Structure 1
Amino acid sequence: MKRVPEPENDFMEGFFKWLESEDGQHSMEAVDYVFEALKGADLDIAGRRIVWADGQKLTIDQSVKKIYKQTGINIEAIRSHIIGWLELGYEPKGLDDEQMELFESQINAWIDEYGNSLIK
């Protein structure tokens, strides 16, 4: 019986190839810049604002522009990594499980609304 070679679509293999590519390198650079820029930031979840360490309360788009002005890196990459930070990078302190669940649903609603506004 002839052995069929495994397809080269293994997720991790593809991911590592992408990381080594120019696009992957730019994305990793962008995530480093975004997460560093947002270090010490907080959220005004009701107002849907990122509260920067310097006290500025900015929307996602305003935050994208602020990081772009500082770094000149790709705007779409900045936007994507800010959303990633909202989803995974920001951790509110002192919330119990129920409060955290509510917080996560508010973040998801914010991101969904923001994504829908980009489509219009």
Structure 2
Amino acid sequence: MWIHGGAYQCGMTAEPEFDGSALARMGVVVVSVAYRLNVLGFLAHRDLEEGVGPGKPTANLGLLDQRMALLWVRDAIRAFGGDPSRITVFGQSAGASSILAHICSSCDLPFSRAIMQSGGGLGVF
């Protein structure tokens, strides 16, 4: 599954330089997902902590979108000829940093491999 970059501010799944058709021609099931960006995806404000508590995640909806996509891919990939035990997540820039966030979370990982391209693990964008 491909997670695009763009500093969590911009970017899209249809960028020509990240076209997955060559991989698909080799039999790879390519999934590219969109997720909420900018303030709609990564809004942080102290008022959001009310009822959740300080230091708890509040509004990383972009990461939640990615997680829901990963879970969907894991559950549906067999219908497209894929193997749910061999899911690779691949991200560039903010997409790579997102992958680290998923790896470091306490949730079960719905993927078995990760490729992080051109993004520091904890890069500040």
Give TM-score, length-normalised by structure 2.
0.32
**Higher Cα radius of gyration:** 1
Which structure shows the bigger proportion of residues in strand conformation?
A: 2
Higher RCO, 1 vs 2 (CA within 8 Å, ≥6 residues apart): 2
Which structure shows the bigger proportion of residues in helix conformation?
A: 1
